[in-house]
């Protein structure tokens, strides 16, 4: 065995010992909420396809039409020849939804975060980030080469104290948080965070991957509860409720212009396939036309938490925290035997000792399906 393979095998053995080894499972997603795995049909409570738009006929049609018109791939970086005509329309629509001057679309949410943060923060800068923020925000923060400090989850007073202590030693500061936390489903206190950020001339950036399309009438977490918090940097993805692929940032015109010039993951990466951009536009159309439909995933999640005896859901994401990896895998398997797909989420995706089932609710889950899942979770998982 070469030293390279020995290295890989030792790492894999270590993961397996800790029940943290992961494998890719072939999954067929043919109809909205149903998946097929290993010949078995399961009702999925693990997709981020909150509005079931990945299979929506009108959206598939828009994607197919774009392929016919513009081809399959975009052929180059957007700054060379990859900037097909659909981009401008999508960016205008996103800016309108988020009520910002401008928007820019990236290849994915991960690429957006890896690209945006280093443009705004350099070696002498400060990134203050919620400890439970998404992995790709941490990647972007690390790439900035600035000082990265975490604040306790949703703890505004802690963020305030850290800014008071560290802000003066840095040229610029970015305060970074998920709008909806991807593994916990709770919302960030954006109003209070914006006030703190403004007090110290720090720039607030939200990652709204799980907000767009499902929170605040579909506009996202800065519009939750009929308020509008004017967050200056609103990032998100087109791969969850929107059902397609891609990432974006909504911000002021000069900020977006700077990002277009300087974000390495935009400049040095190929533009999205036209079909993904067309699908996103069609999805935004649908959400705008049908805000009642966009409200369904959160309503379904609330019905579940009521019935399972859990704290009320704030988003379509509901964690059922079990703790140990092995017990979480066993619970996931038990639910699979009952016909449900409920993925086990383990460290390092979540903190050690907080392995969980991460349940997601979508517009098309029926009340009966939710009640049956809630009964099993209540009686056979939480009762232990
Ligand atoms: C999924 C996710 C991303 C990454 O988006 P992709 O488009 O899938 O790369 C970023 N942030 C959060 C909070 C996410 O949940």
Tens of pLDDT along 299-325?
A: 999 999 999 999 999 999 999 999 999
Q: Could you tell me which residues are beta bridge partners of residue 129?
A: 150, 176
Which helix (H) or strand (E) is 334 found in, with range? helix 325-337
Asked if the model's pLDDT at residue 45 lies above 80, the reply is yes
Asked if the model's pLDDT at residue 374 lies above 80, the reply is yes
Q: Residue 210: which of 286, 279, 301 has the closest Cα?
A: 301
Q: Kindly write down the DSSP assignment for every residue of 106-160, as one continuous string.
A: ES-HHHHHHHHHHHH--TT-EEEEETTS-HHHHHHHHHHTSEEEEE-TT-HHHHH
Q: How far is the CA of 110 from the centre of ligand 1 (A)?
A: 6
Give the residue range(s) of CATH 3.90.1150.10 domains in the chain.
Answer: 19-48+295-382
Neighbours of 116 (CB within 10 A): 30
pLDDT averaged over every residue in the chain: 96
Contact 42, 341 (CB under 8 A): yes
Give the residue range(s) of CATH 3.40.640.10 domains in the chain.
Answer: 59-289
Q: Is ligand 1 within 6 A of the CB of residue 108? A: yes
**In this predicted model, what pLDDT tens digit does every residue of 88-122 receive, in sequence order?**
999 999 999 999 999 999 999 999 999 999 999 99
Q: Could you tell me which residues are beta bridge partners of residue 130?
A: 151
19-48+295-382 carries CATH number 3.90.1150.10:
yes
Q: What 3-state DSSP class applies to 45?
A: coil
Q: Is ligand 1 within 6 A of the CB of residue 237? A: yes
pLDDT of the residue at 123: 98
Q: How far is the CA of 43 from the centre of ligand 1 (A)?
A: 23
Exposure on the CB side of residue 374, measured as CA atoms within 13 A: 21
Cβ contacts of residue 161 below 8 Å, gap of 6+?
A: none
Q: Residue 18: which of 378, 348, 377 has the closest Cα?
A: 348
pLDDT of the residue at 20: 85
Mean pLDDT of 127-152: 98
Q: How far is the CA of 293 from the centre of ligand 1 (A)?
A: 23
**CA dist., res. 198 & res. 247, Å (int):** 26
Q: Is ligand 1 within 6 A of the CB of residue 110? A: yes
pLDDT of the residue at 268: 97
Nearest residue CA, atom 6 of ligand 1? Answer: 109
Kindly tell me the burial class for residue 282, based on how many C-beta atoms sit within 10 Å of its own C-beta (0-12, 13-18, 19 or more).
buried
Atom of ligand 1 nearest to the CA of 134: 13
**CA dist., res. 52 & res. 55, Å (int):** 6
Cβ contacts of residue 365 below 8 Å, gap of 6+?
A: 33, 43, 45, 300
* The token pair that represents 316 in the structure block: 């379509």
- Looking only at the bridges linking them, the beta strands covering 344-345 and 355-360 are antiparallel
With cut-offs at 50, 70 and 90, classify the pLDDT of residue 31. Answer: confident
Helices (H) and strands (E) in the chain, counts: 14, 14
**CA dist., res. 215 & res. 201, Å (int):** 28
**CA dist., res. 235 & res. 103, Å (int):** 9
Mean pLDDT of 238-265: 98
Nearest residue CA, atom 7 of ligand 1? Answer: 109
**In this predicted model, what pLDDT tens digit does every residue of 196-233 receive, in sequence order?**
999 999 999 999 999 999 999 999 999 998 889 999 99
Asked if the model's pLDDT at residue 275 lies above 80, the reply is yes
CA angle 4/5/7 to nearest 5° reads 65
- Looking only at the bridges linking them, the beta strands covering 247-251 and 102-106 are antiparallel
Among 109, 138, 185, residue to substitute to test ligand 1 (most atoms within 8 Å of Cβ): 109
**CA dist., res. 192 & res. 345, Å (int):** 30
pLDDT of the residue at 225: 86
pTM for this prediction: 0.96
| Class of 59-289 in CATH | alpha beta
Among 207, 241, 246, residue to substitute to test ligand 1 (most atoms within 8 Å of Cβ): 207
pLDDT of the residue at 27: 92
Nearest residue CA, atom 4 of ligand 1? Answer: 109
pLDDT of the residue at 26: 92
**In this predicted model, what pLDDT tens digit does every residue of 330-363 receive, in sequence order?**
999 999 999 999 999 999 899 999 999 999 999 9
């Amino acid at each position: 065995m070469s030293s390279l393979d020995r290295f890989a095998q030792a790492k894999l053995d270590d993961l397996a010992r800790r029940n943290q080894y992961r494998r890719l499972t072939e999954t067929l997603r043919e109809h909205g909420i149903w998946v097929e795995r290993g010949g078995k049909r399961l009702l999925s409570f693990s997709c981020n396809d909150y509005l079931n738009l990945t299979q929506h006929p009108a959206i598939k049609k828009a994607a197919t039409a774009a392929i016919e018109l513009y081809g399959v791939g975009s052929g180059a970086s957007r700054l060379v020849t990859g900037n097909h005509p659909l981009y401008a329309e999508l960016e205008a629509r996103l800016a309108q939804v988020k009520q910002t001057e401008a928007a820019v679309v990236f290849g994915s949410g991960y690429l957006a975060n890896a690209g945006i943060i280093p443009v705004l923060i350099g070696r002498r800068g400060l990134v203050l980030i919620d400890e439970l923020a998404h992995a790709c925000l941490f990647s972007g923060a690390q790439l900035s080469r600035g000082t990265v400090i975490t604040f306790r989850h949703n703890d505004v007073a802690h963020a305030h104290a850290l800014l008071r202590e560290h802000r003066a030693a840095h040229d610029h500061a970015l305060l970074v948080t998920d709008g909806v936390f991807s593994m916990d489903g709770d919302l960030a206190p954006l109003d209070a965070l914006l006030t703190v950020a403004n007090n110290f001339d720090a720039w607030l950036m939200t990652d709204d991957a799980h907000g767009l399309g499902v929170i605040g009438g579909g506009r996202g977490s800065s519009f939750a509860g009929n308020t509008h918090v004017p967050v200056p940097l609103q990032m998100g993805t087109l791969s969850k409720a929107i059902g397609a692929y891609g990432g974006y940032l909504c911000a002021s015109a000069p900020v977006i212009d700077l990002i277009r010039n300087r974000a390495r993951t935009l400049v040095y990466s190929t533009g999205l396939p036209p079909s993904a951009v067309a699908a996103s536009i069609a999805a935004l159309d649908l959400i705008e036309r049908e805000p009642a439909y966009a409200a369904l995933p959160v309503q379904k999640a609330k019905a579940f938490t009521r019935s399972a005896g859990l704290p009320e859901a704030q988003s379509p994401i509901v964690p059922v925290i079990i703790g140990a990896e092995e017990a979480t895998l066993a619970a996931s398997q038990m639910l699979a035997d009952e016909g449900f797909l409920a993925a086990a989420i383990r460290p390092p995706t979540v903190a050690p000792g907080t392995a969980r089932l991460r349940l997601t609710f979508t517009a098309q889950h029926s009340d009966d399906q939710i009640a049956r899942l809630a009964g099993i979770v209540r009686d056979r998982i939480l009762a232990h």
